[in-house]
């Protein structure tokens, strides 16, 4: 892969002149990274070892939490090192590795959320057939598809990027991404751009269609149901909807950072736009599902009671109402 015409190091100019504020950034990022790893790992362990959570919905959540650990680990160590360094550089090999990890993380995240939308659709629209449609075997197949589809699809894009001859080494971001590297190519990149549009349809178009169809059907069923049923459906779907909106916001910020010239923007804004996708998404999902999902919340409380981190709740004693003499 190494070529004499290829740059040995890339300069990440997205950091700009951050001065002593780097120590504040570093402190915030290392705390968030530790929370991301600990929170997601805790929920993965909870789903694996708690038999009451051995259901398709929680398997998919477990896949989502595993992806958050993967995404955080692929980006944070490099960010933390560069944040404290005066020379913001990354080697050619590590840049390629970061590109592969970042893009497969994003693709896996969105595909996972699309499959979770389908799971909610089956649960709400076909409750009696849910056990058969979303059996454990089918859930495993869907989870395997999520990861294999994301890694397989981007592997073709990645192989095309690796072959490009580069004529520069300046990346206008705080981390490497595929589009930034393609912009440095000396040769014609029409094939890369055309395939990029094709994969954009596969990675975004298909999941969007599945999500819109699933929630369109859920909305149709809810409009015909009672208030209690609508409230129950809303409580079930709220964490997933918030997670989707958060992912969309992060993707929008990432697109703005990649497609537009941000060199004249304040360094603080550039760093925040670059890091939102890797800071908020992996942090919000475990907190969101841990707090809003009843079974996970109960399992967490039981775990904390067993480990002594939370006092056991005393059972509520209801005193009998004395009978009236009249």
Residue 300: give its domain's CATH number: 1.20.1070.10
Average pLDDT (302-309) is: 74
| Residue reference for tokens 């059996």 | 135
Domain extent, residue 128, equals: 9-306
Is 70 exceeded by the pLDDT of residue 235?
A: yes
pLDDT of residue 304: 75
Tell me if 65 is assigned to some domain: yes
SS3 10: strand
- Higher model confidence: residue 324 or residue 71? 71
pLDDT of residue 1: 42
Tell me if 322 is assigned to some domain: no
Average pLDDT (186-194) is: 83
pLDDT of residue 265: 66
pLDDT of residue 314: 59
End-to-end CA distance of the chain: 94
Tell me if 3 is assigned to some domain: no
pLDDT of residue 4: 46
Element (H, E) at 12: strand 9-12
Tell me if 311 is assigned to some domain: no
- The CA distance from 163 to 160, in Å, is 6
Tell me if 318 is assigned to some domain: no
pLDDT in tens, 261-290: 666 666 667 667 777 877 888 888 888 887
Is 90 exceeded by the pLDDT of residue 141?
A: yes
DSSP 171: E
pLDDT of residue 2: 45
Average pLDDT (156-173) is: 86
Task: Please report the DSSP string for 274-325 in residue order.
Answer: HHHHHHHHHHHHHHHHHHH-HHHHHHHHHHHHHTTSSPPPPPPP-PPPPPP-
Mean pLDDT of the chain: 83
CB atoms within 10 A of CB 288: 16
pLDDT in tens, 310-323: 677 655 555 565 56
Count of domains forming the chain:
1
Is 80 exceeded by the pLDDT of residue 294?
A: no
- Higher model confidence: residue 92 or residue 18? 92
- Higher model confidence: residue 122 or residue 230? 122
Is 50 exceeded by the pLDDT of residue 88?
A: yes
Tell me if 83 is assigned to some domain: yes
The encoded tokens of residue 97 equal 């590795």
* CB-CB contact of 157 with 203 (8 Å): no
- Higher model confidence: residue 15 or residue 102? 102
pLDDT in tens, 197-223: 888 777 788 888 999 999 999 888 888
Tell me if 43 is assigned to some domain: yes
Tell me if 284 is assigned to some domain: yes
């Amino acid at each position: 892969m190494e070529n004499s015409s290829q740059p040995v190091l890339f300069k990440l100019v997205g950091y700009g002149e951050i001065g002593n504020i780097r120590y504040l950034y570093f402190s915030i990022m290392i705390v968030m990274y530790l929370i991301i790893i600990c929170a997601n790992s805790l929920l993965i362990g909870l789903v694996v070892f708690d038999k009451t959570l051995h259901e398709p919905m929680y398997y998919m959540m477990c896949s989502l939490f595993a992806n958050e650990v993967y995404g955080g680990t692929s980006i944070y160590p490099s960010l933390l090192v560069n944040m404290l360094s005066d020379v913001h550089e990354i080697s050619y090999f590590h840049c390629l590795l970061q590109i592969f990890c970042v893009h497969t993380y994003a693709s896996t995240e969105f595909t996972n959320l699309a499959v979770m939308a389908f799971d909610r659709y089956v649960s709400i629209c076909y409750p009696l057939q849910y056990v058969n449609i979303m059996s454990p075997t089918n859930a495993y197949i869907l989870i395997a598809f999520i990861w294999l589809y994301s890694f397989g699809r981007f592997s073709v894009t990645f192989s095309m990027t690796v072959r490009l001859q580069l004529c520069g080494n300046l990346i206008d971001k705080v981390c490497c991404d595929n589009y930034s590297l393609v912009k440095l190519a000396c040769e014609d990149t029409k094939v890369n751009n055309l395939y990029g549009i094709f994969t954009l349809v596969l990675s975004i178009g298909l999941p969007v269609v599945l999500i819109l169809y699933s929630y369109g059907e859920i909305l149709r069923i809810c409009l015909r149901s009672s208030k209690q049923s609508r409230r129950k459906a809303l409580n079930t779907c709220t964490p997933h909807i918030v997670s989707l909106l958060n992912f969309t916001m992060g993707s929008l910020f990432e697109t703005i950072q990649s497609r537009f010239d941000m060199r004249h923007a304040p360094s603080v804004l550039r760093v925040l736009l670059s890091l939102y996708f890797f800071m908020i998404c992996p942090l919000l999902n475990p907190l969101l599902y841990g707090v809003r999902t009843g079974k996970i919340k109960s399992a967490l409380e039981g775990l904390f009671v067993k480990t002594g981190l939370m006092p056991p709740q005393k059972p509520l004693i209801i005193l009998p109402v004395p009978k009236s003499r009249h």
